[in-house]
Amino acid sequence: MPTKQRRYPLKAKDAKQIIESAQHKLKLNFDELFGAKAGVEIVESDVGLIYLISGRPILYKSGDRILPTLLFAEFTAKAPKIVVDMGAVPYVCKGATVMAPGIVRVEGEFAAGDLVLVTDIKHGKALAIGESIMDADVARQTEKGPVVKVLNYVGDKIWDYIKILSE
């Protein structure tokens, strides 16, 4: 557990700015998902900044980017998916780049640089959120090399911390 933590509500202007940025990147309408007056809080900790929307850990800050957490169910339900075989699971769960040989199928459409969800073939569970290195059509046809750069994965420090916040 992180040694320090500070939790406080964001000013409406700051919250609006973060939500607009996230909506654009994630291609989701946050007003429809959470309501126009959804409260946004920030949790500062040793692992970084976590944004709570309506009390749920939805976003986190990595460098200068705002990214979705794996617990953002509305994003994980609609995001394009990279489905990997069970042999790739331990590597993805350690933050490894998703390589073409481990991919079973590509679901949905995306461009290079878009966020995608990495799931396993057996259970369909979300393992990671990553940034695609190529567009969907190229990813479907490629047989070797990197396809997705993993940004957040099950078992990383953000995952562990948001699981504690969600309890």
Mean pLDDT of 26-39: 84
pTM reported for the whole predicted model = 0.90
pLDDT at 2: 52
Q: Is the pLDDT of residue 167 over 80?
A: no
Q: What is the pLDDT of residues 55-109, one digit of tens each?
A: 899 999 988 889 999 999 999 999 999 999 999 999 999 999 999 999 999 999 9
DSSP string, the chain: --S-EEEEEPPHHHHHHHHHHHHHHHT--HHHHH-TT--EEEEEETTEEEEEETTEEEEEEETTEEEE-TT-HHHHHHS-EEEE-TTTHHHHTTTPPEEGGGEEEEES---TT-EEEEEETTT--EEEEEEESS-HHHHHH--SSEEEEEEEETTSHHHHHHHHHH-
Residue with the bigger pLDDT between 166 and 108: it is 108
pLDDT at 3: 53
Which domains does the chain carry? 5-72 (3.10.450.120), 75-153 (2.30.130.10)
pLDDT at 31: 85
Q: Is the pLDDT of residue 4 over 80?
A: no
Q: Give percent of the chain with pLDDT exceeding 70.
A: 97
